[in-house]
Structure 1
Amino acid sequence: MMTSECCNDIVLEGKVLAAPAPSHENHGVHFFRFFLEVPRLSGQADTLPVLIPEPMVQQVCQGETVRVRGQLRSFNNRSGVGSRLVLTVYGQEVLPPCGEAANHIALTGSLCKAPIYRRTPLGRTICDLMLAVPRRYGRTDYLPVIAWGQLAQQVRSLSTGARICLEGRLQSRIYQKVTESGTEERVAYEVSMMRLESQHEDL
């Protein structure tokens, strides 16, 4: 059960698709990136990006199954035209697998945009949220969350600034982006809400 304090905890277990590759350096620490293939109950799989510090690289080998504990982080990629929100799982622990696929995230944060409520072409109700989750040292992660059905109905009327606690899973989604140079295939990552623990409007 989550508390009202800031919460950003994720656990993934899946197959390492390729050996970790160098990503960047921060405060003298080298970071490496790899992708974890995490099966869904439907038989499909999510391909999720994981970032780890160099001392953990030896614990990750291509083709092996690992369990990763950490946080979901966001940053703005300004390398192209405009800015784009990039999500990455920051691995704080790499553990031996437990033998079952895992994809669980717990978040507590505040809505930084009004919810967007809509229906899919098949008639399913859906609500898009943007959750601001503070880190301990002052920065904030901005994390997209999607709610379906009854959960979408529960959160559709929340106001900007409302504080919510939720549990869900991190999923990947391929979409087509139209640019000046043509249509590009891109991958988006978002939290699919499975349970709403609590909610209240900030005064």
Structure 2
Amino acid sequence: MINEIELLENNKIYIVGNIAATPVFNHQIYGESFYNVIIEVQRLSKQIDMVPVLISDHLIDINLLKLGVIIEIKGQVRSYNNLDKTEKKRLVVNIFAREAKILDTLDGIENYNDAFFDAFICKEPNFRITPFGREICDLLIAVNRAYKKSDYIPCICWGRNARYCENMQVGTRLRIWGRFQSREYEKKDQYGNIVIKTAYEVSVIKLEKAEEEK
């Protein structure tokens, strides 16, 4: 079983990037206000991920979060179900900031996007080969949180990692290292129109089975 201290360590993410949109108020609880912020995070390939982050005004002065400002975030990947316009449940994934700091420069930072999870497979892995011959395996993992809650995080594995996890059973405990990414895709709405959607997932760099403690 995972103890209370481990609950703070089993879901960790670090990102650095530029503010891409004006913060939008989300909700307030016990006098603490939370804002949705989109951060541009660059990959090694120079491609940009648009990362959604939930930030408290108790962490940082929200008025300082202007377009283009460089910000460093340490936190956790969170998820919740939300009803769309057709009353269907949709998994919403974002980053919950635990620490936030404005930086003057990106100099000296080698990794802009680094995530770690100690989690359990909660859905049968979906292995497939793309038309270009790439081996891919989709995973949905559950990460335990306080108060008997869990966050459900989509992950995508490639090549050797995809083959390694394709036959794993639901309930298998894994340690996963990777990066949080955004991906646009097309989908037809209820009227048959093509709309552009954005999916958020973890691109897996390394994973291993975790031994359960006796």
Fold match by TM threshold 0.5: yes
Q: Distance in 1 between the 2:210 and 2:161 partners?
A: 12
RMSD: 1.9
The gaps in structure 1 that reach 5 residues or longer are: none
TM-score by length of structure 2 reads 0.87
Where does residue 186 of structure 1 map in the other structure? 197
Aligned length in residues: 199
For the pair 1:108 / 2:114, whether they are aligned, the reply is: no
Deviations 1:90-144 (A, max 9, x none): 1111124353351000001111111000011100100000000011222110000
The match for 1:118 among 109, 125, 128 is: 128
Query: Tell me, what secondary structure is at the counterpart of 2:162?
Result: helix
Do 2:69 and 2:102's aligned partners in 1 also have CA atoms closer than 8 Å? no
Q: Distance in 2 between the 1:198 and 1:59 partners?
A: 42
The gaps in structure 2 that reach 5 residues or longer are: 1-5
Q: 1:60 to 1:137 in 2, by over 3 A?
A: farther
The match for 1:85 among 62, 87, 91 is: 91
The aligned amino acid for 2:181 is Q
Shift of 1:25: 2.6
The aligned amino acid for 1:14 is G
Matches within 5 A, 1:1-203: 5-6=6-7, 7-55=10-58, 56=60, 57-81=62-86, 82-97=88-103, 99=107, 100=109, 102-181=112-191, 182-199=193-210
Q: Indicate the percent of aligned positions where both proteins have the same amino acid.
A: 36
Shift of 1:201: 8.4
Q: Distance in 2 between the 1:159 and 1:68 partners?
A: 33
Which stretches of structure 1, 4 residues or longer, exceed 6 Å deviation after superposition?
none
Shift of 1:184: 1.1
Do 1:49 and 1:88's aligned partners in 2 also have CA atoms closer than 8 Å? yes
